[in-house]
Amino acid sequence: MIDCHRQRSAHVEAIPVPPSKATSFGVIDTDRDGRIRGFLEKPENLPSMPSDSNQTYGFMGNYLFDMGVLLTALHEAKERGENEFGCHFLLRFIYSHRVCVYNFSDNRIPWIYRYEEQSYWCDAGDINTFYAVHHDVMGGESSFNLLNPQWFINSSNYPGPSLHILSGDIQDSVIGAGLLAKCARIRNTVFSQGAPMLVAGDEIRRTQKGNNNAYCQDNEISWVNWDPSSTDREFLAFVQHLISLWRAHPVFRRNNFLQGRSIRGSSIKDILWLKPDGTEMNDEEWVHDFARCLGMYLDGEAMEERDQRGNPILDDNLLLLFNGHHEAILFHLPELYEGSQWLSLLDFNLACGLEADGYFQGGDTYTIEGRSLALLVQRSYT
């Protein structure tokens, strides 16, 4: 579309649709060169495309302008008191500038097979189309495969979790709703069960700029800069702190799956999922689309694993607080054991992820900032 715009020195807009759908909105009359001659609002007799009598150009609201021309025209329209884009601005533009149409069915996307989807454009002006389009794009299973080896397309789709990546400089990209470009990959790796894996340079924020084939790149994509900036050194200290916590707590390195079962007849389980009010989540609350914050309690005495000498592996009781909401949330710390309190080990909102000061009693509130994570350990009074 952009290539066509440049070749014709035009301002591009419109897409062919069947006449049965064109009656729902305005249509465009063009000459054989694709230049727009006029605009008709829901006419009875539809003008057909010069190249296809079974199609007509619908007024779809998809525009591509030369920025300088557009800004000048908008300034002139403002002085005339014209604020309707379709009725005033675009109609005047048709007669004073070179405005052409672009046929999306002729669209060709490089680096994909010709049998794959080359174009998709659908006006969502009526309720049926609005419903269908959202199912195509936002349904549980999208109708489209956006994978293109030459494009950096990172997307996430409801009802799945948001995509969290560290891509360094994000350029020439399509970023889908829900993406959080932050140092979250380090977080998820370190706090996931199993062996964490860091690629060389991750600890000093090296980025491959979204390239999955860095091994064959003899350039900045695969090189490591061992003269890190002060910010990179701060991040290195943060990663070292994470790794030290991971090594110190075997509950993060379990060999067996968590069961959610009670510990030797008590009401405490090996893992508890908690709501911000400090109570345990039930099955129904897992499917609430407004749930943005939760806590994960891991009981270090419930591992039921042994070391190489056959000794039981025991650990502290830990509480991970997750907040996927953009605003801070007050989390009520649970009262699980009498005579115990909570100590902060890690807070991603603080400088270098350092711990918050002081002890917190069960029932106290802990402020977990937006899109952040905190780790607390349970300590006894004695």
Q: What tens digit of pLDDT does each residue of 325-357 get?
A: 888 999 999 988 877 899 999 888 776 555 556
Asked which of 66-75, 120-129, 228-237, 261-270 is least confident by mean pLDDT, the reply is 120-129
pLDDT exceeds cutoff 50 at 167: no
Give the span between the Cα atoms of 95 and 99, in whole angstroms: 8
Q: What is the mean pLDDT of residues 134-159?
A: 55
Please tell me the number of Cα atoms within 13 Å of 318 on its side-chain side: 20
Residue 300 CA to its chain's centroid (Å): 33
pTM of the model: 0.50
What is the C-alpha separation between 376 and 359, in angstroms, rounded?
Answer: 10
> Exposed, middle or buried, 328 (CB in 10 Å: 0-12/13-18/19+)?
middle
Q: Exposed, middle or buried by CB within 10 Å (0-12, 13-18, 19+), for 354?
A: middle
Residues 354, 254, 364, CA angle at the centre, nearest 5°?
40
Confidence at residue 322, expressed as pLDDT on a 0 to 100 scale? 93
Helix ranges (H only) for 84-195 are: 91-96, 127-138, 184-190
Looking at residue 124, what is its pLDDT?
Answer: 52
Structure tokens at 262: 């009670």
Higher pLDDT, 171 or 200: 200
The two beta strands, 180-181 and 164-165, are parallel
How many Cα atoms sit within 13 Å of 271 on the Cβ side? Answer: 14
Q: In angstroms, rounded to a whole number, what is the distance separating the alpha carbons of residues 330 and 326?
A: 13
Distance (Å, rounded) from C-alpha 210 to C-alpha 213? 9
Type of residue found at 101: V
Under DSSP, the state recorded for 153 is E
pLDDT for 38: 75
* Greatest alpha-carbon span in the chain: 88
Which 8-state DSSP code applies to residue 338?
Answer: T
Is residue 267 within 8 Å of 218, Cβ to Cβ?
no
Please tell me the predicted confidence (pLDDT) of residue 157: 46
What residue spans in the chain does CATH classification 3.90.550.10 cover? 2-106
CATH number for 2-106: choose from 2.60.120.560, 3.90.550.10, 3.20.20.80, 3.40.50.970.
Answer: 3.90.550.10
pLDDT tens digits for 270-292? 889 999 999 999 888 887 766 78
Better-predicted residue by pLDDT, 153 or 264: 264
Q: What integer pLDDT is reported at residue 116 of this predicted model?
A: 54
- The DSSP code for 306 is B
Count, residues in the chain: 382
Quick one: DSSP state of residue 305? -
- The CATH classification number of 250-380 equals 2.60.40.1180
Tokens of 33: 């060169």
Cα–Cα distance measured from residue 5 to residue 13, given in angstroms and rounded to the nearest whole number = 10
Q: pLDDT, tens digit, for every residue of 25-83?
A: 667 777 877 787 777 766 667 667 666 766 676 665 667 777 788 888 888 888 888 87
**Which residues are paired to 366 by β-bridges?**
331
Phi, psi of 207 (to 5 degrees): -125, 145
At 296 the pLDDT is 94
SS3 379: strand
Name the residue with higher pLDDT: 143 or 344. Answer: 344
